[in-house]
Amino acid sequence: MAKAVDLKRPLADLAAEVQTGKLTSAELVEASLARLKETENYHTVLEISSTALQQAKVIDNRIAAGETIGPLAGIPYIAKDNFLTADTHTTAASHILEPFKAPYQAVAIERLEAAGAVMVAKANLDAFGHGASTENSDFGASKNPADPEYVPGGSSGGSAAAVALGQACFSIGTDTGGSLRQPSSYCGVVGLKPTYGLVPRYGVIAMGSSFDSIGPITNRVADAALVLDVIAGRDDRDATSIERVHDGYRLSDIEYTLSGQKIGVIKEYLGDGLDSSIKKSIDQTVALLKSKGAVVEVVSLPAVKLALAAYYILVPAEVSSNLARYDGVKYGYSAPEAENLEETYRLSREEGFGAEAKRRILIGTYVLSSGYYDAYYKRAQSVRTKLIAEFDAVFGKFDFLLGPTAPTPAFKLGAKVNDPIAMYLNDIMTVSANLVGIPSISIPLGEINKLPYGLQLMAPQRRETDLLPFANAVEELL
Ligand code: GLN
């Protein structure tokens, strides 16, 4: 029987107790494995690590020998299954990678390991990150912890549901158009998408390379800050990665004041389609912020209306290119009945990819083809440029932007799975941050019939150091 340990306690407290011998990493990992078993019906994970307990014992022994481990000493976590990891498979939830074992680990995984964290399982996702519900997983959908008839969101749905269920102390995932924030909103946890490039992408299966961001899903903002502090910073193996700030990202003890902070509420997110209860919560939050002395104004970013359309041109274009490497030769699935090279390519891709991956390959190759490039791809790129300019201008006047994370709480399993456009519309409030490359965080705001929904906060590029203390203050306020 695993000792009853509350895996939802602050990461810093748990790590300190492991370091001082009050708790052991083995106890934490055993509790995590027990919880994974107890709640396996939610189908949050695709594989459980067979070496986690062993790794935990190694950490305990090192501590017993007097060693100081790191800021995440002994803490069990779950990684989305698009991170390359040593002891488990890495499938991206696609049949085409089902047999794949990575020859090296992702930078983020290396850094977590070096800080003392122990990976216990690989989380379910929409295959390759394509989706907003985890229903596009080739291995079956995950379920929402608040109600198993509902989706947990996506594509990091397994990672978000796992944290909400207390299966591990935190998880990590990727966000190309909302995949950390929207499932966090649906599951009632915190999801942080950092500035593009702040966490190196090396060793993470690419979706849209100019959009993909790596970040944590946690129970509170302070935990997100701590995990970001561990995984952030330039690595030469990702040329797009950027330097971390000198003092790091952990929250300081210095008293934070909301008074005088300038906050813009994105007008385009408050219109038709936004659930009226969520709208009411946003209004209440604005009133609360004003009562604390913050300056809050509604601000318009007209190009935001075009963001979703631009996203669903640019991302499939990058997806079609990134998925070209799965050819039945280099990695993963290879169609056994193929009789020549041409057939190996065709059949492996036909049998290995799911419907959504194929849809994106088709859209992507179409918008990049010579006859349509100017009409679609180029115009979508101009929308991206315009959006960047509009956000820049608005951040000249405001410190932060605020809005809902998604227009509604979670929907029922099966409700949108046959309607790609309805599914894509879930991303309407999250894709802009990826198009612009800015940091954005979703924190729990409220519930409708027990189904959670989140509040989204954004800051200019590289300003996690402002965003995290602000989000922490808002979290306390709520
Ligand atoms: N739901 C969005 C999509 O399907 C975003 C996915 C993601 O961020 N990985 O593209």
Rounded Cα distance, 83 and 122, in Å: 8
Q: Is the bond leading into 213 cis (omega within 30 degrees of zero)?
A: no
Q: Which one is catalytic: 80, 122, 193, 416?
A: 80
Q: For residues 56 and 28, what is the distance between their CA atoms, to the nearest angstrom?
A: 8
Q: By the 8 A CB rule, do 331 and 375 touch?
A: no
Pocket mutation for ligand 1, best pick of 137, 172, 176, 312 (most atoms within 8 Å of C-beta):
176
So what's the pLDDT on residue 2? Answer: 60
Any catalytic annotation for residue 80?
yes
Q: Which helix (H) or strand (E) is 76 found in, with range? A: strand 76-80
Distance in Å, CA 180 to ligand 1 centroid: 9
Ligand 1 atom showing the smallest separation from residue 356 Cα: 4
As a whole number of angstroms, the distance between CA 171 and CA 214 comes to: 11
Rounded CA separation 317/35 (Å): 40
259 CA distance to ligand 1 middle (Å):
35
* Largest CA-CA distance found in the chain, in angstroms, rounded: 71
Q: List the Cα angle 165/70/4 in 5-degree steps.
A: 35
Q: Which atom of ligand 1 is nearest to the CA of 130?
A: 4
| For the CA of 179, the nearest atom of ligand 1 | 8
Q: Which two tokens stand for residue 389?
A: 């300019």
Pocket around ligand 1 at a 6 A CB cut-off: 129-132, 155, 174-179, 207, 315, 427
Question: Which residues does 249 contact at the CB level (< 8 Å), separation at least 6?
Answer: 225, 226, 228, 229, 232, 464, 465, 468
So what's the pLDDT on residue 1? Answer: 53
The DSSP code for 168 is S
| Catalytic-residue membership of 155 | yes
- At residue 272, the pLDDT reads 85
Per run of 10 residues, the mean pLDDT along the chain (length 478 residues) is: 84 98 98 98 98 98 98 98 97 96 97 98 98 98 98 98 98 98 98 98 98 98 98 98 97 94 98 94 98 98 97 98 96 95 97 97 97 96 98 98 98 95 93 98 98 98 98 97
User: CA-to-CA distance for 83 and 337, rounded, in angstroms?
Assistant: 30
Architecture of domain 11-231: Alpha-Beta Complex (3.90)
User: How much is the pLDDT for 331?
Assistant: 87
Contact 190, 183 (CB under 8 A): no
